[in-house]
């Protein structure tokens, strides 16, 4: 999905109406709504997150407006104007999804992509988390992309409540929403303070979101996310290594050491934790232990040049080099 969302708010209602007509004449209930009716999720019947602020979008700028609402709701106040240069592409009159996520990360927040599931979306709302959604309010052949923020639902009337365009409280039937959302590739994200897990958190997806935060240069925020991940999935290797690596970036060598030790203990076949442990120990000038860890890494790495390089480097940095036979 690489569509830019241009959001032409004034036509949105009209298009939604047209869609509804198309939907009525076309087929009956969209698939996820049908499943929802068959097996109602164990959720409160009605939820509305009234505290989520509303920023009306300016022309075409639903991306920055939606992101600003979600960021503010997550405790990091932001305005659409401040975000516009980060996410808005003037020549395409819209924002790319990846840029919306990247902009959230630049604010030190974790961008979590939801599974393309209506019941997951509702579960997040029930857990008090507003959801940024991408809709195609037009037709597949004539797209009219639009970002909005879902802030509530009513299971009885089967309606979703959105902050959308110029409308602070738009109610849209589940079936219309599902169709417009499906045309937007079922794209939905949460913007979370990095220590919080989504209600529908999936291990690989969450850890990947934390890795993206680390890559964005937000070491401290990423570290919090890795900690949250490990509280739920204590043996996840990537999160363990991420915790150690972010600690290293922040020069917290004790913490780095502890994280790499844990990773090495839980994953005895992996050389990477030992390799990094060796370097964290070297930073603390604990040369003997560093040398031992690096040697074990080399053995496990079976000829991997990176592990060998680490061992060589530690040997070079040691103030006094022990005789080889004492290794």
Partner 1 sequence: MHNRFLRITARLALALMLTVTLPLQTAQAGMVGTEQLAGRHSADRERVITLLDRADVRAALEARGVDVNEAKQRVEALTDEEVAQLAGKLDDVPAGGDVLGVIVFIFLVLLVTDILGFTKVFPFTRSVR
Shortest Å, Cβ 180 to partner 1: 19
Shortest Å, Cβ 286 to partner 1: 15
Sign of the CA dihedral with 141 first, then 93, 73, and 162 last? negative
Going from the C-alpha of 249 to that of each of 158, 219, 238, 264, 304, the distances in angstroms are: 48, 7, 16, 19, 24
Shortest Å, Cβ 53 to partner 1: 32
Tell me the pairing of strands 131-136 and 145-154. antiparallel
- Give the whole-angstrom CA distance, residue 326 versus residue 317: 18
- Give the whole-angstrom CA distance, residue 129 versus residue 190: 7
Torsion of CA 181, 183, 185, 187, to 10 degrees: -30
Between 163 and 186, whose beta carbon lies closer to partner 1?
Answer: 186
Residues at the interface with partner 1 (CB under 8 A): 35, 38-39, 115-117, 119, 202-205, 207-208, 211, 214-215, 236-238, 241-242, 244-249, 256, 272, 275-276, 279-280, 283, 306, 309-310, 313
Shortest Å, Cβ 168 to partner 1: 32
Between 1 and 51, whose beta carbon lies closer to partner 1?
Answer: 1
Shortest Å, Cβ 227 to partner 1: 14
Between 144 and 281, whose beta carbon lies closer to partner 1?
Answer: 281
Q: Quick one: which of 216, 197, 223, 198 has its CA closest to 103? A: 216
Tell me the pairing of strands 145-154 and 188-192. unpaired
Between 66 and 246, whose beta carbon lies closer to partner 1?
Answer: 246
Between 93 and 249, whose beta carbon lies closer to partner 1?
Answer: 249
């Amino acid at each position: 999905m690489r569509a830019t969302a241009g959001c032409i708010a004034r036509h949105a209602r009209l298009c939604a109406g047209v869609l509804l007509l198309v939907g009525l004449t076309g087929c009956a209930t969209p698939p996820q709504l049908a499943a929802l009716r068959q097996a109602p999720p164990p959720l409160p019947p009605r939820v509305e997150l009234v505290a989520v602020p509303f920023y009306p979008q300016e022309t075409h700028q639903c991306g920055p407006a939606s992101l600003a609402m979600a960021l503010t709701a997550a405790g990091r106040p932001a305005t659409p104007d401040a975000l516009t240069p980060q996410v808005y592409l003037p020549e395409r009159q819209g924002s790319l999804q990846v840029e919306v996520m990247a902009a959230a990360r630049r604010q030190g927040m974790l961008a979590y992509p939801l599974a393309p599931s209506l019941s997951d979306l509702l579960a997040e709302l029930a857990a008090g988390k507003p959801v940024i959604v991408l809709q195609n309010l037009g037709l597949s052949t004539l797209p009219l992309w639009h970002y909005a923020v879902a802030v509530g639902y009513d299971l009885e009337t089967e309606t979703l409540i959105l902050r959308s365009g110029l409308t602070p409280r738009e109610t849209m039937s589940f079936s219309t929403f599902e169709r417009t959302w499906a045309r937007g590739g079922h794209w939905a994200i949460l913007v979370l303070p990095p220590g919080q897990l989504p209600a529908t958190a999936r291990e690989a997806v969450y850890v990947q979101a934390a890795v993206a935060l680390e890559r964005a240069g937000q070491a401290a925020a990423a570290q919090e996310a890795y900690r949250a991940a490990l509280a739920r999935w204590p043996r996840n290797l990537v999160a363990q290594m991420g915790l150690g690596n972010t600690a290293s970036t922040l020069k917290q060598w004790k913490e780095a050491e502890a994280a790499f030790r844990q990773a090495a203990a839980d994953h005895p076949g992996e050389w990477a934790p030992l390799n990094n442990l060796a370097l964290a120990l070297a930073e603390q000038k604990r040369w003997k232990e560093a040398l031992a860890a690096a040697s074990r890494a080399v053995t496990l790495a079976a000829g991997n040049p990176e592990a060998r390089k680490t061992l060589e480097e530690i040997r070079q940095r040691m103030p006094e080099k022990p005789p080889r036979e004492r290794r």
